[in-house]
Structure 1
């Protein structure tokens, strides 16, 4: 191999196929990183049980009982293994919102109890309340409590921690220590075990918060997509509904004029072409998200389209348009468009009156036609219009009657 190849591949072969730790870590999301940190914090601490048992053995002030000490040291290895398995099961159960699995919990508790008993037998002789005795009895249940912190609530961990501390205090007194010493040992040991378990409990809680934030971001993204789809569907309905209705009316009128041999058919066909071109432009604007309406233009268009369809149309209050802001004009323009679409598609009206009234704090648009209305749920068009008005601080009401149908849209002035 030449020098260039050696420089490229290294003395011991290519390292390109081996992912670096930094790359492996950067490929994870923030929740995955925190989960890995939390999980291995549990595993790392629980795996130190054998090392702690060696330290406890070395701190004994009197020569320990060797058979019991051997069982204690071996039991600490079993405590580490069962506690790691319990923590793993607890973290998985928390992810699915289940309780702590009974099998791993019972196995870890039994191993911890036997190891604690071996610690008492090994280090119980000599000075009552010695550190070797206290921690020989307290270390195994401390590991189990830490593993259970993945699922158990704070109150349960506190009760268990001080329960173990109280049991150790009673044990110290039973071996000959003064009651005051036993009480201090109970409080100190219970507090130490509880704080240790709660520290790991806090790390799990942080992981829960990060997961919830990630889930919330996902929900927000889904809502944004749903809102955009709703906007597109609503705009497409509003844009195409009236224009297609107008094209249908003008097509029928042009056909009738041709059959009767009257002039004006070409004018109606030209109108159809103009409306089709306008529809194409508006659909493109809807796709781009820049669709807007002009109230004055909508009122003029409504008058023209309705008259072409044979509906007598009157418009009052056009002077109010100039005093309105753009948001009010846009939403009222949509209201005019939707009202006209409904007149053309869903009624046999002969007259339609459109009135725009400035009431000071609000502007009210009223569209009334002489077709009989029937009470019932709104369709997608009126529902979408109601949502537009509500977003602008306004409201939409309809008043169907025996000989008329009235649509009222009100927005802040």
Structure 2
């Protein structure tokens, strides 16, 4: 019973881990498992079933068949171990060590010799021989096709085929069976080329597109930081230069005993206070951006990450027609929920809906791709996340609800009363602290 529970627990853990992965990660795993499975499926069909005919051909034939099967299984294991490294080589992540080809090449040579020996002893012939020839280069070819250019793969496969057909002809295999063997080698070469390489190429393109989306999202964040930096420079640059010049002038006047130094320092004090207020205005404007600004920013960041965005009701009384304080509160909801959409699940579409009741504004943010992964929750200890947002809106009479909404969807619903006052910025989501603010 205990062992059964352990197995069930491992299955559940595997299932949870699988659903916690993105769609692209699932496709990646599926593609690799498929390549590995093809080797085993064909090894146990093309490479095993024909050997059953050797059971009544004497001990020599049975020994050769058993050796062929054992080496073929070993070759399949080595092939599976090399698939991941060959894929990394194809993507350019890391080079494939040439020494890892020595063992597969040696195993391929042994299976070729055993196949020729089986044909020489008449243990296999006709269709059975053609099937064994089909399976012969498969385990070696699947990783190898990812390591060399197509032209080199075709030329080397043709050279290998000539060697195999030549050896079979040398041991007396009839012309019809030689032709069938040549066709089998051609078929398996093309099968590997048109299945393994295009699937890995498509997977590589999808990973590159995913990396480009992440780069666009990071660039959007960097652009916003640069904008804030430019605003701060524009506000402080001129005033700090004036303060520096007037301070130097006040020092010189004071050294000469000129009472005008006091007037200069009074002017420095005035400019410093004006600069302090301007910095506060910039930071306050950054923290209290209105709802349309937050909606535009959320749309830009999500679309940069490859997520389609649909906004409804923003142009009506629930959006630009809402009081400024309500817009400020809903703006923080938009910013937090957009962050959660990027962090959790694997969404392809996000819907933002605004509606107005008799005494409140209702904002709904819904996304697909939620799967069975853990829902977004609070960031403990920081006051951010949905829990921190609920506390912040609760202080002004609002509320936040979140949870699944249908299959594979997650929805956050925020309600803010029309008479709400603008909330302070959540501690986990604020802009850089105001260094000029008096303590």
TM-score, normalised on structure 2? 0.52
Match of 1:282? 282
Deviation at 1:163, TM superposition (A): 3.1
1:177/1:246 CA distance change after superposition, 3 Å: same
Task: Tell me which of 134, 141, 146 is aligned to 2:137.
Answer: 141
- Deviation by residue 1:138-195 (Cα, 9 ceiling, x = unmatched): 42322111132343332233223333333344345442533x7645642452133232
* Aligned match of 1:30: 23
What are structure 2's unaligned runs of at least 5 residues? 291-439
Separation in structure 2 between the aligned mates of residue 261 and residue 128 of structure 1, nearest angstrom:
110
Structure 2 residue aligned with 1:235: 231
Cα distance, 1:31 vs. partner? 3.9
Equivalent pairs, count: 280
* CA distance in 2 between partners of 1:263 and 1:111 (Å): 93
Question: Partners of 1:17 and 1:124 in 2: how far apart?
Answer: 50
Shift of 1:199: 0.8
Counterparts of 1:173-192 in structure 2 under 5 Å?
A: 173-174=169-170, 175-178=172-175, 182-183=178-179, 185-192=181-188
- Match runs of 1:16-27 below 5 Å: 19-27=12-20
Q: Does 1:71 align with 2:67?
A: yes
- What SS does the corresponding residue of 1:19 show, helix, strand or coil? helix
Which of 197, 201, 207 is the matching residue for 2:203?
207
Alignment correspondent of 1:55: 49
Question: Cα 1:138–1:166, aligned 2, differ >3 Å: closer, same or farther?
Answer: farther
In structure 2, what is the equivalent of residue 389 of structure 1?
none
Tell me how far apart the structure 2 counterparts of residues 124 and 14 of structure 1 sit (CA, whole Å).
49
Task: Give the distance between the partners of 1:265 and 1:81, measured in 2 at CA.
Answer: 82
1:286-325 matched pairs, under 5 angstroms: none
TM-score (norm 1): 0.55
Post-superposition shift, 1:135? Answer: 3.2
Q: Distance in 1 between matches of 2:20 and 2:228?
A: 35
The partner residue of 2:32 within 30, 36, 39 is: 39
**Greater mean alpha carbon deviation, residues 58-67 or residues 44-53:** 58-67
For 2:197 and 2:264, how far apart are their aligned partners in 1?
83
Q: Within 1, Cα distance between the matches of 2:213 and 2:185?
A: 42
Question: Which one scores higher on RCO, CA 8 angstroms, separation ≥ 6?
Answer: 2
Contact 1:129/1:185 (8 A) holds in 2:
no
What is the alpha-carbon distance in structure 1 between the residues aligned to residue 250 and residue 98 of structure 2?
81
